[in-house]
Amino acid sequence: MLAGLIVLAVAAALPAWQEIMGTATRNPEQSHILLALPLVLWLGWLRRQRVRKNGPVWSLWGAVAVAAGAGLYFAGPRVNLDLLWHLGAVLMLAGAVLSVVGPRFAAAFFPSFIGLVFLLPIPGTIRHEIAVPLQEISARVGEFALDTFGVPVERTGSTLTVNGVLVEIAEACNGMRMVSALALVSFAFIFSVPVSNRIRVLILAVSPVVALLVNILRLIPTVLFFGYADAGVADTFHDISGWLGLVAAFGLLWAFLGLLRWLEVPITPYAVGGAA
């Protein structure tokens, strides 16, 4: 029954789902969408033991969520807001699941339900407001680092010139791509390890700094490759370094958690509650 309702929910909003997946595959800035569903399934798998105490129960709240999602789905095109259109499709899917599992089950697996938000493409206006400042900061720091190590470099806005080659930061290391992916990585991290809610909030608060740091660490060698290596080699390194950046971000989050332990900051829910 659950599988059937999921199929019906997706079929009812199929044009929106087609655009979501098309955006994820065509637009590199939205490629984090492809990792959202595996994230949802992973977080659910980690909490599989909770099924014993929170069995699925039919609920009319699912129908309410489906109705609300349908309203957003049809209202989005009328007000020319794709975000509402996409949100309506996702909400209809969540409502279909909620109809079968019930609120108690959903509460036990709430990270998976919240993770569905990462299926939503980020609107262009929001991407622009985040990406442009990140590109400017990355270009300034990259120029300073390269100059410190004696590499001749010139900067014009968010463009670096190395060995006579112009390297656009927007193309070399788009900060928005790293922020989107790191937001998803941070979300998966905080709900995959046993930490208190205040530590989760703290990790989310420092994640933009981690995103900027990783983007800069990725930018410097990428600029050097574009400036001194073959274009094909530079493009290959650019693509590989994006995934390596996610690994580095995950490592930095683990290091930050280790630092909190070293500082003897209570990080587990038990410690926060005062229990042994």
For residue range 25-53, list pLDDT tens digits in order.
Answer: 888 778 888 888 898 899 989 888 888 88
- For residue 153, give the 3-state DSSP assignment: strand
Look at residue 173 in the predicted model and tell me its pLDDT: 59
Look at residue 20 in the predicted model and tell me its pLDDT: 93
Return mean pLDDT, the chain: 83
Residue 91 has pLDDT above 90, yes or no: yes
Look at residue 59 in the predicted model and tell me its pLDDT: 87
Residue 60 has pLDDT above 80, yes or no: yes
Q: pLDDT tens across 140-152, in order? A: 888 888 888 888 8
Element (H, E) at 256: helix 231-262
44 and 114 Cβ atoms separated by less than 8 Å:
no
Residue 190 has pLDDT above 70, yes or no: yes
The predicted model scores a pTM of 0.75
Is the pLDDT higher at 247 or at 169? 247
Look at residue 177 in the predicted model and tell me its pLDDT: 63
Q: Read off φ and ψ for residue 108, nearest 5 degrees.
A: -70, -25
pLDDT band at 275 (very low <50, low <70, confident <90, very high): very low
Look at residue 99 in the predicted model and tell me its pLDDT: 93
Q: pLDDT tens across 209-242, in order? A: 887 788 788 888 888 888 888 777 877 887 787 7
Residue 97 has pLDDT above 90, yes or no: yes
pLDDT band at 74 (very low <50, low <70, confident <90, very high): very high
Highest-pLDDT range among 105-119, 192-206, 231-245: 105-119
Look at residue 63 in the predicted model and tell me its pLDDT: 92
Highest-pLDDT range among 109-113, 143-147, 158-162, 169-173: 109-113
Q: Which of 156, 186, 151, 154 is nearest to 170 (CA)?
A: 156
Residue 82 has pLDDT above 80, yes or no: yes
Q: Which of 115, 127, 128, 119 is nearest to 22 (CA)?
A: 119
Q: Read off φ and ψ for residue 274, nearest 5 degrees.
A: 90, 5
Q: What's the rounded mean pLDDT across residues 102-110?
A: 89
pLDDT band at 162 (very low <50, low <70, confident <90, very high): confident
